[in-house]
Amino acid sequence: IEVFVIMTKHAAEMVPPSEFEKASGNKVYLELFEKGFDYKTILENRKVEHIEIAERADVLAIVPATANVIAKIAHGIADDFLTTTYLATTAPIIICPAMNVNMWNNPATQQNIKKLKQTGIQIIEPSEGMLACGYEGKGKLEEIDIISYEIKKQLNRNNSLRGKKILITSGGTTEKIDDVRFIANRSSGKTGATIAEECYLRGAEVLLLRSINSVQPRYK
């Protein structure tokens, strides 16, 4: 897998970009306007770095994703290399939050996470444990093996169902016996939601009919 690293200015304060250049073998993208930037060169070559990286990506993974970055992405703010690349890419996006437990539980953060899920972005939620700030709770970056697995799973998907229209039903049902009695089941709808998600990720146009109390899919 060829890896290109984008860093925010705050991330570069914590880890030198040179470390990621050694690890990836590629240039680290940090500044929208690097030293010596000349707009005339852009117009002559018709090449903009964050657009090229966005088009080249098969998956965009934001690891870790701070509350600030999540908020900016949820509201379409593009003021650095990372957020402009996010807006420009059509690749699947995986966001891996990491922050203080109170920041994670804050209603504003949870609303932003909900909004991103509704747009089809995969969220690998943080795990519970001891946090860098000394607090203990949910907010710890998920294990790297799990994140790596999810990235590879996205890369291995294909568009085998592109152009197909698929109808899926899920959740509990009731069947009337008479005016008083009925037969019902306690189906959660998890299987139907999972099938719908997979079909969607493989390029299909999916219509999911689910019962009112069944599990909602991650993508809408």
Residue 220, CA atoms < 13 Å, CB-side half-sphere: 9
Structure tokens at 32: 């929208």
CB atoms within 10 A of CB 53: 18
CB atoms within 10 A of CB 170: 22
Question: How far is Cα 151 from Cα 157, in angstroms, rounded to an integer?
Answer: 10
For residues 37 and 85, what is the distance between their CA atoms, to the nearest angstrom? 18
Active site residues: 133
